[in-house]
Amino acid sequence: MDRSANIKRRFILHVDMNSFYASVESMMDPTLKGKPLAIAGNPEERRGIIVTCSYEARKFGVKTTMPLWQAKKLCPSLIVLRPDFQKYRTMSQKMFQLLREYTELVEPVSIDEGYLDITRISMSPIEAAEEIQNRLYHELGLPSSIGIAPNKFLAKMASDMKKPMGITVLRKREIRQILWPMTVGEMHGIGKATEEKLKKYNIHTIGDLAKEDAYSLKHRFGKNGVRMWERANGIDDRPVDPERASEFQSVGNSTTLAEDVSDETELKRVFSVLADSVERRMKGKKVVGQNLQIVIRYGDRKTVTRSKTLENPFHDKSEILEHAWSLFTKHWNGEPVRLLGITAADVIPKEKAYKQMDLFTFEQEKKRDDVNRLISDIQKKFGDHSIIRGKLTDDPS
């Protein structure tokens, strides 16, 4: 429930940590401060991918997702470290603990950003933002940018406007002057594919989008078309919901079998169905997982849970099935099974994820995403059984 529903004006903050992973590393090791620093998968290899980088590195043109060889060419003095997710999770918890000192209405969006509804606190929005930013920096050693606005969308857009260590107020009456001249690709929630589709309809700026007919956009883009139109016009009634974060901690599915089963072929078929369901739900939520868990319940109701942290974030059915089946065959005692389950845990928004991949793997992943998107579109239009995936050669057998 939105506790500020009866209040006409809302004050929402979006707190976004600056170069979070790199900032944590610099805070832990002061000798890194002020130096070009990058966090990358497989830093020993030229083909590693940049996860994030310090602002000193960005001055040389280094960017997130850039191949490591290219980054080092742009910045020969670049310091490269492997990611340490346990360290980052610990600092993230401290960050959100600090934010909750101001209001219980804190909604984490990812490991390094979140919304606060400060409508009911005694401090003014600017005072609160300044104090939060100063405390994050002086108590935790972490820089941040904060957006202040009457809703979540505008607060998110505002926090992106001044980095690092910026505080930006964005009012509804200012969106024509500030937001509308920006390209649609700069609008939160619009990816490259949607940007290209919008351009085909001669929609190049946020202003173009705001002036479009909402019904035409719905016809072309479905519900997302209306949502884009509303955001372009500064409309966003979503509450800051502390419970929403828990929805994204894990995505899973389980099934109780009609009878006890010990046949491997049938058990693998059940895992395949579960993997497909988990993949669909993850893609619907636009998240990827970092840890895979399975549940095995035997006929005598003895239950076994096993998990595995994967090197790369995952969301594809073939990966889910491969690792789930591997865990199962390793831990199954051969007795008849009554229930099976698969859960993707430690999930994060897909846009926040990274892949420790070389360029060849990157192309493979892109092609697989394109194929999966096509299959999903066909199934939505003509039914789940209208098209099915063929067996992948790297599936466990």
* Whether 254 and 122 share a structural domain: no
Q: Cα dist. 238→2, 104, 154, 176, 241 in Å?
A: 8, 16, 12, 21, 8
Query: Helices 264-285 and 359-382 sit at what angle, rounded to 10 degrees?
Result: 90
* Whether 151 and 254 share a structural domain: no
* Whether 92 and 132 share a structural domain: yes
Q: Within a domain: residue 242?
A: no
* Whether 273 and 205 share a structural domain: no
Domain boundary among 232, 256, 277: 232
For 322, the domain range is 248-382
Six-digit token pair at 387? 């098209």
CATH code for the domain in which residue 160 is found: 3.30.70.270
Q: Within a domain: residue 239?
A: no
* Whether 191 and 108 share a structural domain: no
Q: Within a domain: residue 313?
A: yes
Q: Within a domain: residue 5?
A: yes
Calpha distance 378→371 (Å, rounded): 11
Q: Within a domain: residue 287?
A: yes
* Whether 122 and 228 share a structural domain: no
Give the contacts of 31 (CB within 8 A, at least 6 positions apart): none
Please give the span between the terminal C-alpha atoms of the chain, in angstroms, as a whole number: 48
CATH code for the domain in which residue 203 is found: 1.10.150.20
* Whether 29 and 165 share a structural domain: yes
Number of domains comprising the chain:
3
Q: Is 29 annotated as a binding residue?
A: no
Domain boundary among 124, 147, 170: 170
* Whether 199 and 306 share a structural domain: no
- Residues of the chain predicted below pLDDT 70: 1-8, 42-47, 245-249, 351-397
Domain boundary among 136, 170, 204: 170
Six-digit token pair at 326? 């591997």
pLDDT of residue 299: 87
Q: Is the pTM of this model over 0.85?
A: no
Q: State the CB neighbour count (10 A cutoff) for residue 258.
A: 7
Q: Within a domain: residue 238?
A: no
Give the residue numbers marked as catalytic: 113
In the chain, the percentage of residues whose pLDDT exceeds 70 is 83
CATH code for the domain in which residue 326 is found: 3.30.1490.100
Six-digit token pair at 82? 């492997």
Q: Is 16 annotated as a binding residue?
A: yes
* Whether 53 and 159 share a structural domain: yes
Q: Within a domain: residue 80?
A: yes
* Whether 32 and 78 share a structural domain: yes
Q: State the CB neighbour count (10 A cutoff) for residue 284.
A: 10
pLDDT of residue 6: 45
Looking at this protein, which amino acid is placed at residue 80? Answer: V
Give the contacts of 72 (CB within 8 A, at least 6 positions apart): 46, 78, 80
* Whether 191 and 310 share a structural domain: no
pLDDT of residue 362: 45
Q: Within a domain: residue 254?
A: yes
* Whether 210 and 257 share a structural domain: no
